[in-house]
Structure 1
Amino acid sequence: MNSDPIADYLTRVRNAIKANHRIVEIPSSNIKKEITKVLYDKGYIQNYKFEDSEVQGTIKIALKYNPSTKQSAIVKLERISKPGLRKYAGSEELPRVLNGLGVAIISTSKGVMTDKEARTQNIGGEVLCYVY
């Protein structure tokens, strides 16, 4: 049993990038599906597919690489709010990642979204991770 499923998700993606894998499979949950949708919308992953089964299901993520340099679109994935120490931010103090070049994924009352979307909707929430 994993105590932090979001950290496990980020670690699996990070390890797949380091091993230059094209596709990574991750056990599914609703929060992981929402994080995957945000990563796809912001162009960090090439595609994704939710495969539901009777028990849990999986998420298949096709990672994105630059065709000429073979560099991954994701340079760093960093978990911010951990089970032992949750990090919350109001709409005024939402973090800016790499001065706006990266995204912070925020879990709000209106769902999982980026820091920019949360700022425009003027809502805060739990800062899940940084991606750049």
Structure 2
Amino acid sequence: MAFINDPISDMIVRIKNANARKHPTVSMPHSKLKMKLLSIIKNEGYITKFEEVDLNNNKKEIVVTLKYKGNERVITDIKRISKPGLRVYVPVEEVPRVQSGFGIAIISTSKGLLTDKEARKENVGGEVIAYVW
């Protein structure tokens, strides 16, 4: 097994690749942060579901079911913004709008992971994790 330096980027790349090839599901190693990110993406309507699967060797995996409208992808693109080598923080006044409000920005704040709309409503800034549209 290869060591993954940035597990969030790995998750995003797996989703992008499966989405580009129109696969119904994609699996990845488990983490609590990934589960929270996926719950936000699901609540915003970009994926159908995700579930935790126990593997026989005491490890867990996440299986994500991607969403399509007919033959069209629901996720046009998903992009990692803040990386381990270059963290991106924004104050509440500069929380980004993705695709003029048609996409979401996922932000790690002092109140947990929030979408850009929730961060504005809660009046908090933080680290911009990813954009989804």
Q: What corresponds to 2:113 in structure 1? A: 112
Q: What corresponds to 1:27 in structure 2? A: 29
Q: Does 1:9 align with 2:45?
A: no
TM-score of the two chains, using structure 2 as the length reference? 0.93
Distance between the aligned counterparts of 1:39 and 1:14, measured in 2?
A: 13
Structure 1 gap segments, 5+ residues each: none
Change (3 A) 1:99 1:29: same
Aligned AA (1:41): N
TM-score of the two chains, using structure 1 as the length reference? 0.94
SS in 2 for 1:83: coil
Q: What corresponds to 1:65 in structure 2? A: 68
SS in 1 for 2:93: coil
Distance between the aligned counterparts of 2:92 and 2:131, measured in 1?
A: 17
Identity, in percent, stands at 45
Structure 2 gap segments, 5+ residues each: none
Q: What corresponds to 1:83 in structure 2? A: 84
Aligned AA (2:67): K
Distance between the aligned counterparts of 1:91 and 1:52, measured in 2?
A: 39
RMSD over equivalenced CA pairs, Å: 1.2
Q: Give structure 1 regions of 4+ aligned residues with deviation exceeding 6 angstroms.
A: none
Change (3 A) 1:113 1:55: farther
Distance between the aligned counterparts of 1:95 and 1:55, measured in 2?
A: 40
Shift, 1:47, TM fit:
1.0
Q: What corresponds to 2:98 in structure 1? A: 97
Shift, 1:55, TM fit:
4.1
Distance between the aligned counterparts of 1:113 and 1:50, measured in 2?
A: 22
Distance between the aligned counterparts of 2:98 and 2:33, measured in 1?
A: 21
- How many residue pairs get aligned? The number is 130
The structure where strand makes up a greater share of residues is 2
